[in-house]
Amino acid sequence: MGEMEQEFYIGIDFNDSWTQISYFRPGMEEPETVSTVVGQEKYRIPTVAKEGKSQREMLPVFWRRILHMVPGLTDFSKIAAVTVNLPELNRERVERMSATLQELSIPEERIFVAEDKESFCHFAMNQERELTQHDVALFRCEEDALSCLYLTKQPGTSPWRVEILQMELGILPREPADRDRRFGALARQVFLGKIVSAVYLTGDGLEGGWLKDSLNVLCRGRRVFQGKNLFTKGACYGSYLQMHKEKRGYVYFSEYKVPDNVFLKVHQGDRAFFQELAEAGESVFAVGRQYQVLLEGEPQVDIWLRAPDSSKARIVSLELTDLPKRPPKATRLRIEALSDERGRFLIRITDLGFGAWYESSGKVWEYCINE
């Protein structure tokens, strides 16, 4: 992060109970989280209302208020990118967050929505190199429920292919000594047979000074850090890297991500070229490219898929079943990349006919790419 343009990159960690906001400006060494009390790590801002109609009505006012808490941010046109981190994603949540921020005159192309695993990935992968040399683990405990996000990098890939496994580890005992022993035993199970460079601890359930024997387990050959603002800082890193993808040496994959670079091969005169439908690692909720083409040969559309760490592509032929027979180049097709409510990445093909000569049949074909 080195350019000196006067832009703000924002990361917001948002849930029904509280919200945190971090920001980064070129020239800063790392994102900074806004505290509600100067000089203290008081990062949690009570969320305006629980999810529902009341929240939808009040959210624009809430977003405006917390964005104005960022030092120096008086004009939202200075926001280069903003990422909202949510505990989990679906299309309705993603669209609501985006629409609300657009009400503040932030362009849609500068708004991104992530979930906890992705923000953890951005946080972990932007730390010192020695902390990302091997696997990375995050233990989180809210009240007594312990979970782990475990980050691995696929060897031999360039850029690195990063994946995160989420493990629900159970309920910790309330008595401090029992809690300490149980946490240590669970951590040993997570680390068994693995090499871990760094461990992060977050959540109220891991505070209180009871970490003793379990801390010895965690620190054995690993660096251990405890913090309260990991996801908001990770979302902030994500905002910067969305606008500077050339500086990211990794691609994060999950069920919410497009698994491959997706292209459509088209011809214009004697020239053949590829049109990108989706980029590997792109959120399935963000895809939306579409093209109109003329069908030249058989009733099928060839989609080219290429993994981000490969120079070779594979071809998937999508059959246009029951397409009316017409002469070559007398069928116009609309080809769209989109996702459904479940987060499946789809290619939708619509028969548009050909002007006054051939009416549209009204047929639509959909094919799932990431199942």
Do 339 and 352 sit in the same domain of this protein?
yes
Domain annotation covers residue 52: yes
Over range 210-234, report the average pLDDT. Answer: 94
pLDDT at 168 over 90: yes
Whether residue 244 is found in the same domain as residue 337:
no
Measured distance CA(85)–CA(234) in Å, rounded: 9
Beta-bridge partners for 361: none
pLDDT tens digits, one per residue of 38-62: 778 789 999 886 666 687 778 899 9
Of the spans 213-217, 266-270, 337-341, which averages the highest pLDDT? Answer: 213-217
Residues 59, 75 within the same domain: yes
φ and ψ of 119, to 5 deg = -65, -35
2 in a domain, yes or no?
no
pLDDT over 60 at 3, yes or no: no
Report percent pLDDT > 70 for the chain.
96
pLDDT of residue 341: 76
Task: Please state the length of the chain.
Answer: 371
The count of C-alpha atoms lying within 13 angstroms of the C-alpha of 90, restricted to the half-sphere facing its C-beta, is 3
- The pLDDT tens digits of the residues spanning 324-335 come to 999 989 999 999
Specify whether 282 is located in the same domain as 300: yes
Handedness of CA 188, 189, 195, 197 (dihedral sign): negative
Residue 272 sits in the same domain as residue 351: yes
Let me know whether 283 and 321 are in one domain: yes
Please report, for the domain that includes residue 44, its CATH number: 3.30.420.40
Q: What is the CATH number of the domain that holds 210?
A: 3.30.420.10
Q: Indicate whether 3 belongs to any domain.
A: no
As given in the structure block, the two tokens for residue 256 are 């919410």
| Whole-structure pTM value | 0.86
Boundaries of domain holding 84: 8-115+231-252
Task: Identify the CATH number of the domain in which residue 359 sits.
Answer: 2.60.34
* Whether residue 355 sits in one domain with residue 275: yes
Q: What are the tens digits of pLDDT across the range 142-164?
A: 889 999 999 999 877 778 889 99
Q: Are residues 142 and 14 in the same domain?
A: no
pLDDT of residue 5: 54
pLDDT by residue (tens digit) across 103-133? 999 999 999 999 999 999 999 999 999 999 9
pLDDT (0 to 100) of residue 50:
64
pLDDT at 339: 85
Are 72 and 34 part of one and the same domain?
yes
Using 50, 70 and 90 to split pLDDT, how confident is the model at 4? very low
Q: What percent of the chain is helix, strand and coil (3-state, nearest 5)?
A: 25, 35, 40
Number of folded domains that form the chain: 3
Does residue 103 fall inside a structural domain? yes
Is the separation of the CB atoms in 326 and 363 below 8 Å? Answer: no
